[in-house]
Amino acid sequence: MSDNTNLSQILLFDGVCNLCNAAVQYVIRHDKKKTIKFASLQSPFGRKVLSEKYRDTSTLKTFIYIKNEEVLTKSSAFLTLMKDLGGIQQTAIVFWIIPRFLRDALYDFIATKRYAVFGKKESCYLPSPELEDRFIQD
């Protein structure tokens, strides 16, 4: 992988999913330290991570949060990301008390319906010039 693999926080997301793109915009607004990097699952970097670190093609139903080389998915990725954002988002940690299989079942339900409810883009999100350094393309 490129030098970007040494980054400690990377959010991989479905680049054509409107809900996922809204989530990325939310993270950008609330990541005050600007430490989180982004890559679409469809990008060369995203595909490489899928093949090397996770290997499961069904991950297109989830975003992936890589923190210090640990690959987190589904509700665990979401809750860890909210904790890392700090501020009011940290309150999401109360959901850790819910067993993972239940949290992930809810996550899977939303993920399965995301295109029907929120829509889908024809192509991946393109960051503005001022955000390009936070997005990993290759």
- pTM for the whole structure: 0.85
Q: Would you say residue 127 lies in a domain?
A: no
Q: Would you say residue 134 lies in a domain?
A: no
Q: How many CB atoms lie within 10 A of CB 4?
A: 14
> Structural domain of residue 66, as residue ranges?
7-122
Q: Would you say residue 133 lies in a domain?
A: no
CATH number of 16's domain: 3.40.30.10
Q: Would you say residue 100 lies in a domain?
A: yes
Q: Would you say residue 59 lies in a domain?
A: yes
What's the CA gap between 113 and 111, in Å, rounded? Answer: 5
For the cut 60, the answer to whether the pLDDT of residue 22 exceeds it is: yes
According to the model, what pLDDT value does residue 55 have?
A: 60
How many domains in the chain?
1
Q: Would you say residue 106 lies in a domain?
A: yes
